Structure 1
Amino acid sequence: MDPALAALTDAPFTYPEVGATRTGDLPAGVHVARRRAVVGRGDAAFDRAVAAVLDWAPQRHAGLRVRASGPAGTEGAVVLMTAGLPPLGLRIPCRVVWTCTEGDRQGYAYGTLPGHPESGEESFVVSRDGEDVVFEMVAFSRLATRAARLGGPVSRVLQSIALTRYTAAVRKAARG
Protein backbone atom coordinates (compact mmCIF):
# COMPACT_ATOMS: atom_id res chain seq x y z
CA MET A 1 0.00 0.00 0.00
CA ASP A 2 1.07 3.56 -0.67
CA PRO A 3 2.93 4.74 2.50
CA ALA A 4 0.89 7.96 2.70
CA LEU A 5 -2.33 5.94 2.68
CA ALA A 6 -0.98 3.36 5.13
CA ALA A 7 -0.13 6.16 7.57
CA LEU A 8 -3.79 7.22 7.56
CA THR A 9 -5.29 3.76 8.08
CA ASP A 10 -5.40 4.07 11.87
CA ALA A 11 -5.48 7.87 12.12
CA PRO A 12 -8.26 9.16 14.37
CA PHE A 13 -11.23 10.94 12.86
CA THR A 14 -11.17 14.68 13.55
CA TYR A 15 -14.78 14.87 14.76
CA PRO A 16 -16.79 12.94 17.35
CA GLU A 17 -20.04 12.38 15.40
CA VAL A 18 -18.74 9.53 13.21
CA GLY A 19 -21.59 8.03 11.18
CA ALA A 20 -24.04 10.90 11.67
CA THR A 21 -24.74 11.21 7.92
CA ARG A 22 -26.11 7.65 7.97
CA THR A 23 -28.59 8.31 10.76
CA GLY A 24 -29.42 11.87 9.73
CA ASP A 25 -28.89 12.98 13.34
CA LEU A 26 -26.48 15.78 12.44
CA PRO A 27 -24.71 17.66 15.22
CA ALA A 28 -25.70 21.17 16.27
CA GLY A 29 -23.42 24.11 15.59
CA VAL A 30 -21.93 22.82 12.33
CA HIS A 31 -22.24 23.94 8.75
CA VAL A 32 -24.59 21.59 6.87
CA ALA A 33 -24.70 21.29 3.09
CA ARG A 34 -27.27 19.15 1.25
CA ARG A 35 -27.76 18.45 -2.42
CA ARG A 36 -30.35 16.25 -4.09
CA ALA A 37 -30.73 15.89 -7.85
CA VAL A 38 -32.40 13.56 -10.30
CA VAL A 39 -29.52 12.33 -12.46
CA GLY A 40 -31.23 9.78 -14.72
CA ARG A 41 -33.99 7.23 -15.18
CA GLY A 42 -34.11 3.46 -15.11
CA ASP A 43 -31.99 0.49 -14.09
CA ALA A 44 -29.04 1.15 -16.38
CA ALA A 45 -28.74 4.76 -15.20
CA PHE A 46 -28.89 3.59 -11.57
CA ASP A 47 -26.14 1.03 -12.14
CA ARG A 48 -23.90 3.55 -13.92
CA ALA A 49 -24.45 6.21 -11.23
CA VAL A 50 -23.63 3.75 -8.43
CA ALA A 51 -20.51 2.54 -10.24
CA ALA A 52 -19.30 6.13 -10.66
CA VAL A 53 -19.90 7.02 -7.01
CA LEU A 54 -18.11 3.91 -5.75
CA ASP A 55 -15.14 4.57 -8.06
CA TRP A 56 -14.43 8.10 -6.76
CA ALA A 57 -15.66 9.67 -10.05
CA PRO A 58 -17.33 12.69 -8.38
CA GLN A 59 -14.10 13.70 -6.68
CA ARG A 60 -12.03 13.26 -9.84
CA HIS A 61 -14.57 15.25 -11.86
CA ALA A 62 -14.29 18.06 -9.31
CA GLY A 63 -10.61 18.34 -10.19
CA LEU A 64 -9.19 16.45 -7.23
CA ARG A 65 -6.36 13.97 -7.59
CA VAL A 66 -7.45 10.79 -5.83
CA ARG A 67 -5.27 8.11 -4.25
CA ALA A 68 -7.26 5.46 -2.42
CA SER A 69 -6.58 2.18 -0.69
CA GLY A 70 -9.70 0.71 -2.30
CA PRO A 71 -13.09 1.52 -3.76
CA ALA A 72 -15.36 3.93 -1.93
CA GLY A 73 -17.74 1.05 -1.23
CA THR A 74 -15.21 -0.50 1.17
CA GLU A 75 -15.67 0.55 4.78
CA GLY A 76 -12.32 1.67 6.15
CA ALA A 77 -10.87 2.57 2.74
CA VAL A 78 -8.56 5.55 3.00
CA VAL A 79 -8.56 8.27 0.37
CA LEU A 80 -6.06 11.07 0.02
CA MET A 81 -7.33 13.75 -2.32
CA THR A 82 -5.22 16.67 -3.44
CA ALA A 83 -6.41 20.01 -4.79
CA GLY A 84 -4.02 22.28 -6.60
CA LEU A 85 -0.59 21.67 -8.03
CA PRO A 86 1.87 19.27 -6.42
CA PRO A 87 3.79 19.54 -4.16
CA LEU A 88 1.96 22.60 -2.81
CA GLY A 89 -1.52 21.17 -3.30
CA LEU A 90 -4.01 21.04 -0.47
CA ARG A 91 -4.10 17.56 1.10
CA ILE A 92 -7.59 16.24 1.87
CA PRO A 93 -7.36 12.95 3.82
CA CYS A 94 -10.52 10.93 4.61
CA ARG A 95 -11.59 7.42 5.51
CA VAL A 96 -14.81 5.66 4.56
CA VAL A 97 -17.07 5.55 7.62
CA TRP A 98 -20.05 3.57 6.34
CA THR A 99 -21.22 1.93 3.14
CA CYS A 100 -24.45 0.66 1.67
CA THR A 101 -23.81 -1.41 -1.46
CA GLU A 102 -27.01 -3.38 -2.04
CA GLY A 103 -30.59 -2.57 -2.95
CA ASP A 104 -32.19 0.64 -4.14
CA ARG A 105 -30.03 2.91 -1.99
CA GLN A 106 -26.27 2.65 -2.42
CA GLY A 107 -23.35 4.81 -1.44
CA TYR A 108 -20.99 5.68 1.36
CA ALA A 109 -19.72 8.43 3.61
CA TYR A 110 -16.23 9.46 4.47
CA GLY A 111 -14.96 11.31 7.48
CA THR A 112 -12.09 13.72 7.83
CA LEU A 113 -8.67 12.75 9.15
CA PRO A 114 -5.85 14.92 10.56
CA GLY A 115 -4.60 17.40 7.98
CA HIS A 116 -8.01 17.95 6.35
CA PRO A 117 -8.95 21.67 6.26
CA GLU A 118 -12.40 20.82 7.63
CA SER A 119 -13.64 18.50 10.33
CA GLY A 120 -16.75 16.45 9.55
CA GLU A 121 -18.37 13.94 7.25
CA GLU A 122 -19.81 13.77 3.75
CA SER A 123 -22.12 11.14 2.27
CA PHE A 124 -22.71 10.23 -1.38
CA VAL A 125 -25.82 8.15 -2.05
CA VAL A 126 -27.60 7.01 -5.22
CA SER A 127 -31.20 5.89 -4.80
CA ARG A 128 -34.35 5.21 -6.78
CA ASP A 129 -37.51 7.27 -6.62
CA GLY A 130 -39.81 5.34 -8.91
CA GLU A 131 -38.02 5.35 -12.26
CA ASP A 132 -35.92 8.37 -11.29
CA VAL A 133 -32.32 7.93 -10.18
CA VAL A 134 -31.47 10.38 -7.42
CA PHE A 135 -28.03 11.46 -6.20
CA GLU A 136 -27.88 12.90 -2.69
CA MET A 137 -25.06 14.40 -0.70
CA VAL A 138 -25.12 15.44 2.92
CA ALA A 139 -22.13 17.09 4.55
CA PHE A 140 -21.54 18.59 7.94
CA SER A 141 -18.34 20.33 8.90
CA ARG A 142 -16.45 22.77 11.00
CA LEU A 143 -13.48 24.68 9.62
CA ALA A 144 -10.50 22.87 11.12
CA THR A 145 -7.33 24.64 10.06
CA ARG A 146 -6.20 28.20 10.50
CA ALA A 147 -6.09 28.69 6.73
CA ALA A 148 -9.67 27.40 6.35
CA ARG A 149 -10.91 29.66 9.15
CA LEU A 150 -9.14 32.66 7.59
CA GLY A 151 -10.75 31.75 4.27
CA GLY A 152 -14.16 31.42 5.98
CA PRO A 153 -16.73 32.28 3.31
CA VAL A 154 -14.35 31.32 0.50
CA SER A 155 -14.04 27.83 2.01
CA ARG A 156 -17.84 27.48 1.90
CA VAL A 157 -18.01 28.70 -1.70
CA LEU A 158 -15.38 26.13 -2.70
CA GLN A 159 -17.42 23.41 -0.97
CA SER A 160 -20.53 24.48 -2.89
CA ILE A 161 -18.62 24.37 -6.18
CA ALA A 162 -17.36 20.88 -5.35
CA LEU A 163 -20.91 19.66 -4.61
CA THR A 164 -22.09 21.02 -7.96
CA ARG A 165 -19.24 19.24 -9.75
CA TYR A 166 -19.91 16.00 -7.88
CA THR A 167 -23.52 16.10 -9.07
CA ALA A 168 -22.47 16.82 -12.65
CA ALA A 169 -20.13 13.81 -12.61
CA VAL A 170 -22.84 11.44 -11.40
CA ARG A 171 -25.36 12.87 -13.88
CA LYS A 172 -22.87 12.35 -16.73
CA ALA A 173 -22.18 8.78 -15.62
CA ALA A 174 -25.88 7.96 -15.24
CA ARG A 175 -26.59 9.13 -18.77
CA GLY A 176 -23.76 7.04 -20.14
Structure 2
Amino acid sequence: MQLTRPDLARILERSVAERPTADLAWLDAPPVRARVLRERVVLGPDASVAVTADALFGWRIHRGAGLLVASTGPAAVGATVVQALRTGPLWFAAPCRVLDTVHEPDRAGFTYATLPHHPETGVESFRVLREDGRLVFEIHAVARHDFWGSRILPRIAHRIQDRVTRGYLVTARGQDGG
Protein backbone atom coordinates (compact mmCIF):
# COMPACT_ATOMS: atom_id res chain seq x y z
CA MET A 1 0.00 0.00 0.00
CA GLN A 2 1.27 3.43 -0.89
CA LEU A 3 0.10 6.93 -1.71
CA THR A 4 1.81 7.19 -5.08
CA ARG A 5 1.39 5.11 -8.21
CA PRO A 6 3.63 2.05 -7.82
CA ASP A 7 6.58 1.44 -10.12
CA LEU A 8 5.22 -1.72 -11.75
CA ALA A 9 8.40 -2.41 -13.73
CA ARG A 10 10.47 -2.43 -10.54
CA ILE A 11 7.97 -4.60 -8.68
CA LEU A 12 7.81 -6.98 -11.64
CA GLU A 13 11.61 -7.27 -11.76
CA ARG A 14 11.71 -8.08 -8.04
CA SER A 15 8.76 -10.49 -8.25
CA VAL A 16 10.17 -12.68 -11.04
CA ALA A 17 12.46 -14.40 -8.52
CA GLU A 18 9.77 -14.87 -5.84
CA ARG A 19 7.96 -18.14 -5.11
CA PRO A 20 4.15 -18.32 -4.99
CA THR A 21 2.58 -18.09 -1.55
CA ALA A 22 -0.27 -20.51 -2.41
CA ASP A 23 -0.80 -23.41 -4.79
CA LEU A 24 -3.44 -24.95 -7.04
CA ALA A 25 -4.62 -27.27 -4.26
CA TRP A 26 -6.29 -24.29 -2.59
CA LEU A 27 -9.02 -24.36 -5.25
CA ASP A 28 -10.11 -27.86 -4.20
CA ALA A 29 -9.27 -27.64 -0.48
CA PRO A 30 -9.42 -24.03 0.75
CA PRO A 31 -7.44 -23.36 3.92
CA VAL A 32 -9.11 -22.26 7.13
CA ARG A 33 -10.28 -18.62 7.11
CA ALA A 34 -10.02 -18.37 3.34
CA ARG A 35 -12.70 -16.63 1.33
CA VAL A 36 -13.99 -18.65 -1.61
CA LEU A 37 -15.37 -16.68 -4.52
CA ARG A 38 -17.09 -18.21 -7.56
CA GLU A 39 -18.63 -15.98 -10.17
CA ARG A 40 -19.68 -16.55 -13.75
CA VAL A 41 -21.38 -14.74 -16.57
CA VAL A 42 -22.92 -16.02 -19.78
CA LEU A 43 -21.27 -14.30 -22.72
CA GLY A 44 -23.14 -12.88 -25.67
CA PRO A 45 -24.41 -14.90 -28.64
CA ASP A 46 -21.49 -13.74 -30.82
CA ALA A 47 -18.85 -14.59 -28.23
CA SER A 48 -16.14 -17.10 -29.04
CA VAL A 49 -13.68 -19.04 -26.93
CA ALA A 50 -10.79 -17.82 -29.10
CA VAL A 51 -11.59 -14.10 -28.90
CA THR A 52 -12.34 -14.13 -25.17
CA ALA A 53 -9.28 -16.28 -24.45
CA ASP A 54 -7.11 -13.90 -26.45
CA ALA A 55 -8.33 -11.00 -24.30
CA LEU A 56 -7.79 -13.03 -21.15
CA PHE A 57 -4.29 -14.30 -21.96
CA GLY A 58 -3.25 -10.82 -23.16
CA TRP A 59 -4.35 -9.27 -19.82
CA ARG A 60 -7.02 -7.10 -21.53
CA ILE A 61 -9.74 -8.43 -19.24
CA HIS A 62 -7.63 -7.40 -16.23
CA ARG A 63 -6.98 -3.96 -17.69
CA GLY A 64 -10.68 -3.63 -18.49
CA ALA A 65 -11.45 -4.28 -14.82
CA GLY A 66 -9.53 -1.12 -13.96
CA LEU A 67 -6.15 -2.63 -13.10
CA LEU A 68 -2.79 -1.36 -14.24
CA VAL A 69 -0.84 -4.37 -15.49
CA ALA A 70 2.84 -5.15 -16.10
CA SER A 71 3.82 -8.68 -17.03
CA THR A 72 6.65 -10.78 -18.39
CA GLY A 73 4.34 -11.59 -21.33
CA PRO A 74 1.00 -13.20 -22.07
CA ALA A 75 -0.46 -15.51 -19.44
CA ALA A 76 1.58 -18.71 -19.71
CA VAL A 77 2.88 -21.12 -17.10
CA GLY A 78 5.65 -19.32 -15.23
CA ALA A 79 4.66 -15.81 -16.35
CA THR A 80 4.74 -13.14 -13.69
CA VAL A 81 2.22 -10.30 -13.59
CA VAL A 82 1.94 -7.29 -11.31
CA GLN A 83 -1.38 -5.55 -11.08
CA ALA A 84 -2.06 -2.26 -9.37
CA LEU A 85 -5.31 -0.76 -8.19
CA ARG A 86 -6.08 2.61 -6.74
CA THR A 87 -8.68 2.79 -4.00
CA GLY A 88 -9.26 6.31 -2.76
CA PRO A 89 -5.85 7.84 -2.14
CA LEU A 90 -4.14 4.45 -1.77
CA TRP A 91 -2.44 2.24 -4.35
CA PHE A 92 -2.10 -1.50 -3.96
CA ALA A 93 0.28 -3.64 -6.03
CA ALA A 94 -0.50 -7.33 -6.45
CA PRO A 95 2.19 -9.62 -7.94
CA CYS A 96 1.15 -13.09 -9.16
CA ARG A 97 2.58 -16.09 -11.00
CA VAL A 98 0.69 -18.14 -13.58
CA LEU A 99 0.61 -21.78 -12.44
CA ASP A 100 -1.47 -23.45 -15.12
CA THR A 101 -3.14 -22.84 -18.45
CA VAL A 102 -5.81 -24.58 -20.49
CA HIS A 103 -6.03 -24.26 -24.28
CA GLU A 104 -8.76 -26.44 -25.76
CA PRO A 105 -11.35 -25.78 -28.48
CA ASP A 106 -14.21 -25.38 -25.97
CA ARG A 107 -12.25 -24.29 -22.89
CA ALA A 108 -9.39 -21.89 -22.19
CA GLY A 109 -7.98 -20.05 -19.22
CA PHE A 110 -5.34 -19.89 -16.54
CA THR A 111 -4.80 -19.88 -12.81
CA TYR A 112 -2.36 -17.69 -10.95
CA ALA A 113 -1.13 -17.58 -7.38
CA THR A 114 -0.11 -14.64 -5.29
CA LEU A 115 3.54 -13.77 -4.72
CA PRO A 116 5.09 -12.08 -1.66
CA HIS A 117 3.96 -8.47 -1.16
CA HIS A 118 0.47 -9.19 -2.54
CA PRO A 119 -2.23 -7.92 -0.12
CA GLU A 120 -3.67 -11.44 0.02
CA THR A 121 -2.48 -15.02 -0.19
CA GLY A 122 -4.36 -17.20 -2.61
CA VAL A 123 -5.09 -18.43 -6.11
CA GLU A 124 -7.49 -17.28 -8.79
CA SER A 125 -8.67 -19.18 -11.84
CA PHE A 126 -10.14 -17.61 -14.97
CA ARG A 127 -11.90 -19.82 -17.53
CA VAL A 128 -13.93 -19.31 -20.67
CA LEU A 129 -15.84 -22.43 -21.62
CA ARG A 130 -18.64 -23.72 -23.77
CA GLU A 131 -21.35 -25.23 -21.59
CA ASP A 132 -24.78 -26.42 -22.76
CA GLY A 133 -24.39 -24.50 -26.02
CA ARG A 134 -23.52 -21.24 -24.27
CA LEU A 135 -20.20 -19.57 -23.68
CA VAL A 136 -19.46 -18.84 -20.02
CA PHE A 137 -16.69 -16.86 -18.35
CA GLU A 138 -16.00 -17.99 -14.79
CA ILE A 139 -13.77 -16.97 -11.94
CA HIS A 140 -12.87 -19.14 -8.96
CA ALA A 141 -10.75 -17.53 -6.26
CA VAL A 142 -9.60 -18.69 -2.85
CA ALA A 143 -7.75 -16.19 -0.70
CA ARG A 144 -7.09 -15.06 2.81
CA HIS A 145 -6.03 -11.65 4.01
CA ASP A 146 -2.33 -11.08 4.56
CA PHE A 147 -2.22 -7.29 4.57
CA TRP A 148 -2.81 -5.87 8.05
CA GLY A 149 -5.44 -3.46 6.70
CA SER A 150 -7.38 -6.32 5.11
CA ARG A 151 -7.35 -8.25 8.37
CA ILE A 152 -8.60 -5.26 10.34
CA LEU A 153 -11.20 -4.21 7.75
CA PRO A 154 -12.18 -7.39 5.89
CA ARG A 155 -15.45 -5.92 4.58
CA ILE A 156 -13.54 -3.23 2.71
CA ALA A 157 -11.11 -5.80 1.34
CA HIS A 158 -14.05 -7.92 0.17
CA ARG A 159 -15.68 -4.90 -1.49
CA ILE A 160 -12.48 -4.17 -3.39
CA GLN A 161 -12.16 -7.80 -4.50
CA ASP A 162 -15.83 -7.86 -5.52
CA ARG A 163 -15.42 -4.62 -7.51
CA VAL A 164 -12.48 -6.04 -9.46
CA THR A 165 -14.31 -9.33 -10.02
CA ARG A 166 -17.34 -7.48 -11.41
CA GLY A 167 -14.95 -5.60 -13.67
CA TYR A 168 -13.55 -8.87 -15.02
CA LEU A 169 -17.06 -10.18 -15.70
CA VAL A 170 -18.26 -6.99 -17.41
CA THR A 171 -15.13 -6.80 -19.53
CA ALA A 172 -15.37 -10.46 -20.56
CA ARG A 173 -19.03 -9.97 -21.47
CA GLY A 174 -18.14 -7.06 -23.73
CA GLN A 175 -15.38 -8.84 -25.68
CA ASP A 176 -17.46 -10.16 -28.55
CA GLY A 177 -20.61 -8.12 -28.78
CA GLY A 178 -22.06 -9.54 -25.57
Give the structure 1 partner of residue 16 of structure 2.
9
Runs of 4+ more than 6 Å apart: none
Give the structure 1 partner of residue 56 of structure 2.
53
In the TM superposition, what are the counterparts of 1:121-140 in structure 2 within 5 Å? 121-140=123-142
TM-score, normalised relative to structure 2? 0.86
Aligned partners of 1:31 and 1:115: how far apart in 2?
Answer: 19
Candidates 13, 16, 20, aligned match of 2:25? 20
1:52-94 superposed Cα distances (whole Å, 9 cap, x missing partner) = 111112211121100000101x101100111128xx6211110
Give the structure 2 partner of residue 36 of structure 1.
40
Aligned sequence identity (%): 34
Aligned partners of 2:101 and 2:176: how far apart in 1?
Answer: 20
Aligned partners of 1:125 and 1:32: how far apart in 2?
Answer: 16
Aligned partners of 2:73 and 2:176: how far apart in 1?
Answer: 22
The count of aligned residue pairs is: 168
Give the structure 1 partner of residue 145 of structure 2.
143
CA contact (8 A) 1:41 1:131 kept: no
Deviation at 1:135, TM superposition (A): 0.4
| Unpaired runs of at least 5, structure 2 | 1-8
Deviation at 1:3, TM superposition (A): 4.8
Deviation at 1:47, TM superposition (A): 1.9
Candidates 167, 170, 173, aligned match of 2:175? 173
Give the structure 1 partner of residue 6 of structure 2.
none
TM-score, normalised relative to structure 1? 0.87
Candidates 114, 117, 127, aligned match of 2:116? 114
| Unpaired runs of at least 5, structure 1 | none
